[in-house]
């Protein structure tokens, strides 16, 4: 049943492209790219139970890992994308190695501090990064094998393919013994340890996958939307995936997508009607936590589809 | 739209509570759907020209955004009062960009694909401009920015992005160097924020100042997250003849106050960019030591003795008093040095649309070509800040810069640069790019 | 400026930062330590304190000290009540669940910011200090003729900044005494140790939570009133104090008030002192990494217990 759910989620994303207007096509492309970030975050937070406040560092590692080589070394997009992934993977391994010595609140602060240091470093090395202003990845650099990814159809399907890979990867991962172990760690770390699992190694691997997916999202954003800037490394962008995942439903496979889309349209629609849109957003978030404690997907699972993964 | 509301009001007249809700939701639905329908249904001859306006309503740029909004509303009102553009009324479609590059790009997309805007306009903060501009190019939506960043003229953007209504930081900074070297001193210590805007000041001013025989004594870059500054000031060498300061963000007043506390009565000459005190009252407590120091202003905040009739008209239309504050609230100080750019840019959009006989989105390329063809823009009601020369190749305008001196809590004009002082060699020719 | 006076000035500036952080952090420490919730809106209560201070001072007029003193009473009271209300309306209904509280307080953060933006506006607005006094600091110089007293260029502070350090020390001490000596302090400590047990002994835990949440916010507001003559009230000013006090609470060790205060002093001072030796942004990067490293090697903070 879960398989048919995954198929229908992905199929409807394809179908949506042909149904909705240009405007929503553009939005959905963004949502899918950012949902990869949320999917990555969800693996660490929703499934492993580690609350990081520094994921913007991994997002930015992917973004700049792709953008800087294109800008300064003239590397081809495919190579640059690989570099973005490699840079996010390296950063998440190093940070994971250090930060996983801590748990709980200390883990939140350590990840937050590393991300803040990364953000400041982007400003400090402004000569190459152009700091907060950031830089444009020119349209000419966004063409692979004659396909221009600055065009909306190409962009939509590139975003879709990347999202589908991330989504299915996590759906598969949590059904493996590795994924079951992560959930066991979330539920009771000491017990998992006693059962003989190498808890540290599992957490480190979760961090690696989570960070790399976040980086993939950052690299995809830079490539598909043509911009890299230090704003994406700021604290705000570490809190966003947490918010998306919690709104959508932590520890569910479709929660990250739902949460990202919900947060996007909450801002987009409310700012259409009122200049005080943050007020609407804030109230909606408060009400949602009051009345849908496990996020939207969690609520669906509780009320409608009990087998929702 | 109003008809829909009335109908609902009548049919629900007995049930007051529900009536209000229904009326509101009807209005909401109507306003959400009607623009899209109208764009197709009505003939373009009388339909309004829609200008998408990216506003910094929230986020760090909100103080600027509010005044950009007021100025733009005033400019549009004036255009409409005098018959609109090509006989069509102008409508500003404003949307908050949160002073965020990601949201900025999304808003631009909304203008082009959902709200049927003819052009987009208005952004100040450089990162929002740079984050949004690629999307403008892809959507082929003319994007008129009012940002004073060097991004447009540096060539990193595209043919659809123009900055015709405000000068860029490179030309502003370079034009200050001769005045400072001749009148204030030869040894400069620079204090600036440690991000791209500050780096532009550092690089362009240092080079220009050394060309004028000056020497840079110290470069002190302040981290952007900083809220207290005194600890950095000891790095200013004591033999500094002139302190050059520029700071942005909510902590600017602290920055300037702490400078005063640091120096006491033994301050060097000082030259600052008004960005350090934009939207801040010069007569605030703690700023007394600024008396006798110099400021760059894009447009003098206080009414000067040589005020032109154009500034008078513009000031009145926007609702700014002779001290640069809101007419209705003297504590509400405007961003006078920057916001004129909105007024002038909207007038340039009007002129460009009239020159090109603009009818609808199919004429966007023609509009860009018409603006690129512009050159001299004389001082007038359309250009109250002063005459300008637009460079169609670099999509950047050049104009006079004003240096004012703080005197008894006011800023008094001390020097006006020529337009030629602000020129630098072209770095790009956008006209060679295809549409 | 010579090295020694420079270092002295930076240390003094660090002490001021430390004073303000300790006030906001003690508030967060109470909330975090006793209720075990992360209040993301804590910085917004700080901002509200500054905004109310501006409002009180500019409405009253008259001598600057009058408005300031009034603000010193009204702002914490108002903000504390607002926070207690938020506790009753939202946090209590969430059962103080850690994750849900984070999301809900993010929501509150947006609400408070937007309300401040709509009423107070986007500008940074100053509140006049109750007294205005620049104090030049003398320094010693050794020369052939012995020790001379000199007045180095730029070595100065203000009387108000020194007063803030003193005020923070007094307030923090009184909180500690209050916790140790008062009946309510005892209830709070009991709740912190074991809320179920405290409940069994007849302590109204829910009411304790409500008061603690209000008190935490009131302390943040008090810190804001003290700082607002140095900095300005601005609707986005809450971000920094939130991060700093959050860091300080964890570094100090969860729920340890002396640890929180010591960490505030350490972090404030190191921020000042490191700035002497490195270029400013590099100094910030190093100070940030230092915090991470302290926690990596002491995951429970300086004064933390392993049972947290």
Chains that touch B (3 or more CB pairs under 8 A): A, C
Q: What is the mean pLDDT of chain A?
A: 92
Compute the average pLDDT of residues C206-224.
93
- Which member of C100, C114, C291 has the closest CB to residue A293? C100
Domain locations in chain C as residue ranges: 3-297
Lowest mean pLDDT among A199-213, A277-291, C145-159: C145-159
A267 at the C interface (CB within 8 A)? no
C297: which residues sit within 8 A by CB, 6+ positions away?
A: A101
Which DSSP state fits B166?
A: S
C206: which residues sit within 8 A by CB, 6+ positions away?
A: C92
Please give the C-alpha separations between residue A296 and each of A252, B427, C152, in angstroms, as whole numbers. 10, 52, 63
pLDDT in the model for residue B19 = 40
- Which member of A134, A139, A278 has the closest CB to residue B127? A134
Instruction: Count chain B–chain C contacts defined by CB atoms under 8 A.
Output: 107
Please say whether the beta carbons of A99 and A111 come within 8 A.
Answer: yes
Give C52-84 pLDDT, tens digit per residue: 999 999 888 778 889 999 999 999 999 999 999
Question: Domain range for residue A61?
Answer: 23-235
pLDDT in the model for residue C102 = 84
Instruction: Count chain A–chain B contacts defined by CB atoms under 8 A.
Output: 100
CB contact under 8 A, A229 and B130: yes
What span, in angstroms and rounded, lies between the C-alpha atoms of B367 and B392?
12
Of B145, B142, B139, B143, the closest CA to residue B113 belongs to B139
The C-alpha of C299 sits at a distance from chain A's nearest C-alpha, in angstroms, of 5
Cα B206 → chain centroid: 24
Residue A77: pLDDT over 60? yes
CATH class of B49-167+337-399: alpha beta
CB contact under 8 A, A135 and B126: no
What span, in angstroms and rounded, lies between the C-alpha atoms of C45 and A207?
34
What span, in angstroms and rounded, lies between the C-alpha atoms of A132 and A123?
6
C247 at the A interface (CB within 8 A)? yes
What span, in angstroms and rounded, lies between the C-alpha atoms of B301 and B317?
15
What span, in angstroms and rounded, lies between the C-alpha atoms of A177 and A166?
19
Compute the average pLDDT of residues A71-78.
93
Q: In chain C, which residue's Cα lies nearest the Cα of B252?
A: C124
Q: Which two tokens stand for residue C43?
A: 């910085």
B269: which residues sit within 8 A by CB, 6+ positions away?
A: B184, B185, B241, B242, B243, B293, B294
Bridge partners of residue B96, in order along the sequence: B55
Of B384, C195, C94, the closest CA to residue A285 belongs to C94
What span, in angstroms and rounded, lies between the C-alpha atoms of A109 and A52?
8
Please give the C-alpha separations between residue B41 and each of A217, B38, B44, B136, in angstroms, as whole numbers. 41, 5, 9, 26
CB contact under 8 A, B66 and C281: no
Of A43, A63, A83, A56, the closest CA to residue A208 belongs to A43
On chain B, the residues whose CB falls within 8 A of the CB of A70 are none
Compute the average pLDDT of residues A133-160.
93
**How many structural domains does chain A have?**
1
Helix (H) or strand (E) holding B258: helix B252-263
- Parallel, antiparallel, or unpaired: how do β-strands B388-391 and B376-377 relate? antiparallel
Bridge partners of residue B55, in order along the sequence: B96
Proportion of chain B in helix, strand, coil states, percent, rounded to 5: 45, 20, 40
On chain B, the residues whose CB falls within 8 A of the CB of C157 are 230, 261
Please say whether the beta carbons of B108 and B139 come within 8 A.
Answer: yes
Cα A144 → chain centroid: 24
The C-alpha of A2 sits at a distance from chain C's nearest C-alpha, in angstroms, of 27
Of B88, B26, B83, B16, the closest CA to residue B51 belongs to B88
B249 at the A interface (CB within 8 A)? no
Give B80-130 pLDDT, tens digit per residue: 999 999 999 999 999 999 999 999 999 999 999 999 999 999 889 999 999
What span, in angstroms and rounded, lies between the C-alpha atoms of A172 and A195?
23
Quote the Cα angle for A31-A36-A38, to 5°.
90
What span, in angstroms and rounded, lies between the C-alpha atoms of B394 and B375?
12
On chain B, the residues whose CB falls within 8 A of the CB of C232 are 250-251, 253-254
- Collapsed DSSP state (helix, strand, coil) of residue A1: coil
HEC assignment per residue over C21-47: HHHHHHHHHHHHHHHCCCCCCHHHHHH
pLDDT lower than 50: segments of chain B:
1-43
What span, in angstroms and rounded, lies between the C-alpha atoms of B51 and B346?
9
Q: Which two tokens stand for residue C94?
A: 């969430």
CB contact under 8 A, C232 and B254: yes
Residue B300 has phi, psi (to 5 degrees) of -60, 125
pLDDT in the model for residue B151 = 94
Interface test with A, best of B61, B114, B125 (most A CBs within 10 A): B114
Which DSSP state fits A69?
A: I
- Collapsed DSSP state (helix, strand, coil) of residue B317: helix
- Which member of A102, A113, A282 has the closest CB to residue C110? A282
pLDDT in the model for residue C196 = 87
C73 at the A interface (CB within 8 A)? no
Instruction: Count chain A–chain C contacts defined by CB atoms under 8 A.
Output: 126
Residue C305: pLDDT over 70? no
On chain A, the residues whose CB falls within 8 A of the CB of B109 are 23, 26-27
**Residue A252, in any domain of the structure:** no
Q: ipTM surpassing 0.85, yes or no? A: yes
Q: B52-72: b or e for each residue (b if 16 or more CB lie within 10 Å)?
A: bbbbbbbbbbbbbbbbbbbbb
The most confident of A261-265, A278-282, B224-228, C133-137, by mean pLDDT = A261-265
Proportion of chain A in helix, strand, coil states, percent, rounded to 5: 80, 5, 20
Please say whether the beta carbons of C191 and C203 come within 8 A.
Answer: yes
Q: In what order do the strands lie in the sheet with B410-416?
A: B215-222, B187-193, B242-245, B269-273, B294-297, B402-407, B410-416
- Parallel, antiparallel, or unpaired: how do β-strands B410-416 and B402-407 relate? antiparallel
Please give the C-alpha separations between residue B286 and each of A97, B282, B295, in angstroms, as whole numbers. 49, 10, 17
Residue A204: pLDDT over 90? yes
A242 at the C interface (CB within 8 A)? yes
On chain C, the residues whose CB falls within 8 A of the CB of A267 are none
Q: In chain A, which residue's Cα lies nearest the Cα of C301?
A: A106
Quote the Cα angle for A226-A228-A232, to 5°.
130
What is the C-alpha end-to-end distance of chain C, expressed in Å? 46
What span, in angstroms and rounded, lies between the C-alpha atoms of B214 and B156?
31
Binned at pLDDT 50, 70 and 90, residue C37 comes out as confident
HEC assignment per residue over B187-234: EEEEEEECCHHHHHHHHHHHHHHHHCCCEEEEEEEECCCCCCCHHHHH
pLDDT in the model for residue A106 = 85
What span, in angstroms and rounded, lies between the C-alpha atoms of A242 and A108?
12
On chain A, the residues whose CB falls within 8 A of the CB of B102 are 231-232
pLDDT in the model for residue A256 = 96
The most confident of A26-40, A268-282, C278-292, by mean pLDDT = A26-40
Which DSSP state fits C269?
A: H
What span, in angstroms and rounded, lies between the C-alpha atoms of B103 and C130?
42
Compute the average pLDDT of residues C123-142.
84
What is the C-alpha end-to-end distance of chain B, expressed in Å? 37
Q: What is the mean pLDDT of chain C?
A: 88
Which DSSP state fits B433?
A: S
- Which member of A101, A113, A246 has the closest CB to residue C299? A101
On chain B, the residues whose CB falls within 8 A of the CB of A265 are none
CATH class of B170-297+403-416: alpha beta
Interface test with B, best of A30, A133, A153, A268 (most B CBs within 10 A): A133
C282 at the A interface (CB within 8 A)? yes
CB contact under 8 A, C108 and A103: no
């Amino acid at each position: 049943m879960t398989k048919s759910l995954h198929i229908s989620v992905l199929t409807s994303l394809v179908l949506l492209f042909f149904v909705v207007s240009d405007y929503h096509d553009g939005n959905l492309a963004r949502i899918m790219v950012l949902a990869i970030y949320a999917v990555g975050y969800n693996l660490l937070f929703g499934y492993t139970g580690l609350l990081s406040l520094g994921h913007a560092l991994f997002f930015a590692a992917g973004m700049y890992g792709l953008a800087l080589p294109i800008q300064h070394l003239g590397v081809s997009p495919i190579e640059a994308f690989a570099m973005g992934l490699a840079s996010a993977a390296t950063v998440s391994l190093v940070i994971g190695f250090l930060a996983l010595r801590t748990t709980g609140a200390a883990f939140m602060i350590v990840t937050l501090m590393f991300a803040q240091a990364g953000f400041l470093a982007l400003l400090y090395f402004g000569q190459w990064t152009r700091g907060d202003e950031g830089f444009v990845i020119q349209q000419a650099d966004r063409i692979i094998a004659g396909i221009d990814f600055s065009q909306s159809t190409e962009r939509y399907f590139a975003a879709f393919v990347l999202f589908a890979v991330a989504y299915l990867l996590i759906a598969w991962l949590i059904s493996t013994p590795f994924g079951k172990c992560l959930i066991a760690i979330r539920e009771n770390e000491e017990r998992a340890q006693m059962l003989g699992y190498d808890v540290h190694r599992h957490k480190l691997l979760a961090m690696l996958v989570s960070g790399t997916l976040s980086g993939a999202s950052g690299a995809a954003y830079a490539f598909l939307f043509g911009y890299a800037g230090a704003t994406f490394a700021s604290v705000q962008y570490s809190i966003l995936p947490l918010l998306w995942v919690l709104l959508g439903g932590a520890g569910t496979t479709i929660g990250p997508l739902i949460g990202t889309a919900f947060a996007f349209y909450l801002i987009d629609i409310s700012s259409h009607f009122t200049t005080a849109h943050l007020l609407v957003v804030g109230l909606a978030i408060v009400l949602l936590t009051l009345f849908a404690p496990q996020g939207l997907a969690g609520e669906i699972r509780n009320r409608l589809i009990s087998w929702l993964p | 739209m109003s008809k829909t509301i009335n109908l609902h009001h009548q049919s629900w007249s007995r049930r007051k509570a529900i009536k209000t809700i229904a009326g509101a939701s009807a209005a909401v639905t109507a306003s959400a759907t009607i623009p899209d329908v109208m764009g197709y249904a009505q003939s373009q001859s009388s339909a309004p020209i829609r200008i998408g306006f990216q506003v910094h309503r929230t986020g760090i740029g909100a103080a600027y955004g509010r005044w950009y909004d007021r100025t733009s509303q005033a400019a549009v009102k004036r255009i409409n009062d005098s018959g609109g553009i090509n006989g069509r009324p102008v409508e500003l479609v404003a949307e908050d960009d949160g002073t965020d590059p990601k949201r900025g790009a999304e808003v631009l997309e909304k203008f082009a694909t959902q709200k049927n805007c003819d052009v987009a306009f208005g952004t100040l903060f450089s990162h929002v401009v740079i984050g949004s501009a690629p999307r403008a190019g892809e959507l082929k939506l003319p994007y008129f920015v009012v940002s004073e960043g060097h991004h447009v003229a540096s060539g990193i953007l595209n043919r659809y992005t123009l900055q015709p209504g405000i000068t860029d930081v490179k030309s502003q900074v370079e034009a200050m160097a001769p005045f400072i070297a001749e009148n204030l001193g030869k040894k400069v210590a620079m204090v600036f924020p440690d991000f791209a805007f500050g780096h532009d000041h550092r690089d362009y001013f240092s080079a220009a100042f050394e060309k004028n025989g000056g020497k840079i004594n110290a470069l002190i870059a302040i981290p952007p997250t900083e809220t207290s500054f005194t600890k950095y000031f000891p790095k200013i060498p004591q033999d500094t003849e002139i302190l050059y300061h520029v700071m942005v963000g909510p902590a600017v007043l602290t920055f300037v106050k702490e400078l005063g506390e640091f120096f006491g009565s033994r301050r060097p000459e000082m030259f600052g960019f008004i960005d350090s005190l934009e939207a801040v009252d010069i007569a605030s407590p703690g700023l007394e030591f600024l008396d006798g120091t110099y400021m760059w202003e894009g447009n003098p905040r206080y009414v000067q003795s040589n005020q032109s009739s154009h500034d008078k008209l513009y000031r009145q239309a926007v609702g700014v008093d002779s001290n640069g504050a809101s007419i209705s609230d003297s504590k509400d100080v405007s961003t006078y040095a920057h916001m004129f750019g909105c007024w002038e840019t909207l007038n340039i959009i009007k002129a460009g649309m009239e020159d090109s006989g603009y009818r609808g989105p199919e004429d966007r390329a023609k509009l860009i070509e018409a603006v690129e063809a512009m050159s001299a823009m004389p001082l007038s009601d359309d250009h109250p800040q002063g005459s300008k020369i637009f460079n169609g190749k670099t999509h950047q305008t050049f104009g006079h810069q004003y240096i004012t001196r703080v005197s008894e809590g006011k800023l008094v004009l001390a020097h006006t640069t020529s337009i030629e002082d602000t020129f630098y060699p072209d770095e790009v020719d956008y006209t060679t790019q295809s549409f | 400026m010579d090295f020694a006076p420079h270092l002295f000035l930076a240390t003094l500036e660090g002490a001021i930062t430390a004073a303000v952080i300790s006030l906001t952090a003690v508030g967060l420490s109470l909330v975090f330590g006793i209720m075990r919730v992360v209040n993301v809106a804590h910085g917004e209560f700080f901002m509200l304190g500054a905004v109310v201070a501006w409002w009180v001072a500019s409405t009253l007029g008259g001598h600057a000290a009058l408005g300031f003193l009034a603000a010193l009473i009204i702002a914490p009271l108002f903000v504390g009540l607002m926070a207690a209300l938020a506790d009753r309306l939202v946090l209590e209904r969430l059962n103080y669940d850690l994750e849900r509280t984070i999301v809900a307080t993010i929501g509150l953060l947006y609400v408070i910011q937007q309300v401040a933006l709509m009423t107070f506006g986007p500008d940074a607005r100053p509140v006049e200090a109750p007294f205005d006094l620049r104090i030049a600091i003398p320094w010693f110089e050794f020369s052939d003729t012995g020790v001379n007293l000199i007045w180095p260029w730029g070595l100065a502070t203000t009387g108000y900044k020194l007063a803030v350090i003193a005020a923070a020390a007094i307030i923090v001490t009184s909180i500690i005494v209050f916790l140790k000596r008062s009946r309510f302090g005892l209830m709070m400590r009991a709740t912190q140790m074991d809320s179920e047990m405290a409940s069994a002994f007849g302590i109204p835990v829910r009411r304790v939570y409500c008061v603690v949440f209000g008190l935490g916010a009131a302390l943040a507001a008090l810190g804001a009133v003290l700082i607002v003559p140095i900095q300005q009230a601005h609707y986005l000013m809450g971000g920094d104090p939130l991060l700093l006090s959050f860091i300080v609470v964890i570094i100090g060790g969860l729920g340890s008030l002396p640890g929180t205060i010591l960490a505030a002093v350490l972090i404030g001072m190191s921020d000042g002192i490191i700035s002497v030796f490195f270029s400013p942004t590099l100094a910030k990067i190093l100070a940030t990494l230092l915090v991470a490293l302290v926690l990596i090697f002491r995951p429970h903070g300086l004064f933390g217990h392993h049972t947290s």
